[in-house]
Amino acid sequence: MIQIALVFAYVCIGLSLILAMWRLWKGPNVIDRVLALDTLVVNGIGMIVVFGISTGVETYFESALIIAMLGFVSTVAYARFVLRGNIIE
Amino acid sequence: MIWDILIAVALVIGAVFTLVGSYGLVKIDRPMSRLHAPTKASTLGVGSLLLASILDAYSSGDGSLHEILVMAFLFVTAPISAHFMAKAHIHRGTVAAAPPTLESGETWACLDKDREEQPADTSA
Amino acid sequence: MIQRLVPHPFLTALLTAVWMLLENTLSWGVFVFALILGLVIPFLTRMWWPNRPKLSRPFKVPEYLVILIWDIIVANVSVAITVVFKRNADMKPAWIAIPLDIRSPEAITCLASTITLTPGTVSADVSSEGAYLLVHCLDTDDADAVRDEIKSRYERRLKEIFE
């Protein structure tokens, strides 16, 4: 049963990665693209977690943690760049 | 068996919420409303996937709790990035309707020209 | 003396918990090393944390967290239903200005994060004097009801916790 749920989760997350990618490509303005990148990062963390469950290897969670941190910092940096024109004052 | 059912349910709920978040990102046509779906649904979706991972570790014998770190980090940072993107939307004027003006003569922080000169922004 | 050696007890507890979660093992050795880190780091960085946030009623925090987690789950289901089944033209987004009773920056930050994580609302900005909070609503008929609910459900509890 876990195998079926894992395949379902892979399909759903892959589909949502494609949808976020579409918004990244189409996005009418720059903030939509930042939001799409943020969603891509969050979905990527989900994908890594599901992969970690299916392989049973613990090391993937460290990478999920690091990607979560980098994703947050990059989103804030992009938004701040749009707001102020520079990142570190 | 009961563990299998719990893990499968958590996985399915997480996957569905993640998909709903990205679907909302594509479907909603107003820029400011678009912020709502990914910041909430995707965060809860990944939270549910991490819960499935904790349950999986416990069912296989070696307990593992460090998924809580990722979960807590996501739940703390999601509002902050949403807040930053909302500020950027207002700043660039890419909102469907302008935010309301206040009676007392105050302005919103990101529209205030004097405040933009100050380096520190405590509101974030 | 204790105040000078342990300038931030909450930060110490947080660092200890985070280190133990990173190590991912429950043993006394890990706990002792986590406690050493939790005591040394706030002490060495104390000059960058000049004032400690006041929590006048910390025992109210668990109640608030339970309400918050429950509301996050309910919020996500309702937002998911709105996003999937409602046509774009039928949604009624609205801006709401919430007058604030709480003044401390920590309390306002907590309130803004709570609003973003709960039903159909995203906090967007504070006013220049910190007296109003700007909230964007995804789909609402009655903006005043949303404002009253936020004030009575979250702000009152945060005011009890922080002031």
The one-digit pLDDT tens for each residue of chain B (124 residues) are 788 888 899 999 999 999 988 888 888 888 778 888 888 888 888 889 888 888 888 887 777 778 888 888 888 888 888 888 888 888 877 676 666 766 666 676 666 655 444 444 444 4
Tell me whether B96 touches chain C (CB under 8 Å): yes
Tell me whether B99 touches chain C (CB under 8 Å): yes
B18, B29, B35, B36, best to mutate vs chain C, most C CBs in 10 Å: B36
Query: Would you place residue A16 in the very low, low, confident or very high pLDDT band (cuts 50, 70, 90)?
Result: very high
pLDDT of A52 above 60: yes
The pLDDT value given to residue B122: 46
Q: Do B70 and A45 touch (CB under 8 A)?
A: yes
B30, B74, B75, B83, best to mutate vs chain C, most C CBs in 10 Å: B83
Task: Compare CB distances from B64 to C24, C97, C117 and report the shortest one's residue.
Answer: C24
Contacting residues for B102 by C-beta, under 8 A, at least 6 apart: C97, C127, C132
Q: Tell whether A42 is covered by a domain.
A: yes
The pLDDT value given to residue C53: 67
Q: Do C79 and B109 touch (CB under 8 A)?
A: no
B46, B104, B123, best to mutate vs chain C, most C CBs in 10 Å: B123
Q: Where are the domains of chain B?
A: 2-95
Task: Compare CB distances from B26 to A19, A43, A49 and report the shortest one's residue.
Answer: A19
The pLDDT value given to residue C71: 86
Minimal-distance CA residue of chain C relative to B100: C95
Which subunits count as partners of chain A given 3+ CB pairs below 8 Å?
B
Q: Tell whether A16 is covered by a domain.
A: no
Region at C121 (left for phi over 0; alpha for psi -120 to 50; beta for the rest): beta
Q: Do B19 and A42 touch (CB under 8 A)?
A: no
The pLDDT value given to residue B117: 45
Range C37-41 contact pairs with CB under 8 angstroms and sequence separation of 24 or more: C38/C11, C38/C12, C38/C13, C38/C14, C39/C5, C39/C6, C39/C12, C41/C11, C41/C15
The pLDDT value given to residue B105: 63
Tell me whether A33 touches chain B (CB under 8 Å): no
Q: Do A36 and B25 touch (CB under 8 A)?
A: yes
- Tell me the average pLDDT across A17-46: 89
Burial classification of residue C4, based on how many CB atoms lie within 10 Å of its CB (0-12 exposed, 13-18 middle, 19 or more buried): exposed
Query: What is the pLDDT tens value at each position of chain C, 163 positions in all?
Result: 667 667 777 888 888 888 888 887 778 888 898 888 888 888 888 777 777 666 777 777 888 889 888 888 887 888 888 888 877 777 778 888 888 887 777 888 888 888 888 767 888 888 777 778 888 888 777 777 878 888 888 888 888 787 7
Other CB atoms within 10 A of residue B50 CB: 27
Domain range for A77 is 28-83
A30 vs B124: which has the higher pLDDT: A30
Question: Tell me, what's the ipTM?
Answer: 0.86
Q: Tell whether A10 is covered by a domain.
A: no
- Number of domains chain A is built from: 1
The pLDDT value given to residue B112: 61
Chain C hits for B82, CB-CB cut-off 8 Å, are: 116, 122
Q: Do A49 and B88 touch (CB under 8 A)?
A: no
Q: Do C21 and B66 touch (CB under 8 A)?
A: yes
The answer to whether the beta carbons of residues C79 and C46 sit under 8 Å apart is: no
Tell me whether B95 touches chain A (CB under 8 Å): no
d(CA C3, CA B80): 31
The pLDDT value given to residue A88: 67
Q: Tell whether A22 is covered by a domain.
A: no
Q: Do B22 and A75 touch (CB under 8 A)?
A: no
Q: Do C125 and B30 touch (CB under 8 A)?
A: no
For the segment A66-87, what is each residue's pLDDT rounded down to a tens digit? 998 999 999 988 888 888 776 6
d(CA C50, CA C31): 28
Pairing of strands C121-126, C94-99: unpaired
Kindly list the distances between the CA atom of residue A55 and the CA atoms of A58, A63, A85, B51, in Å, as whole numbers in the listed order.
9, 15, 44, 16
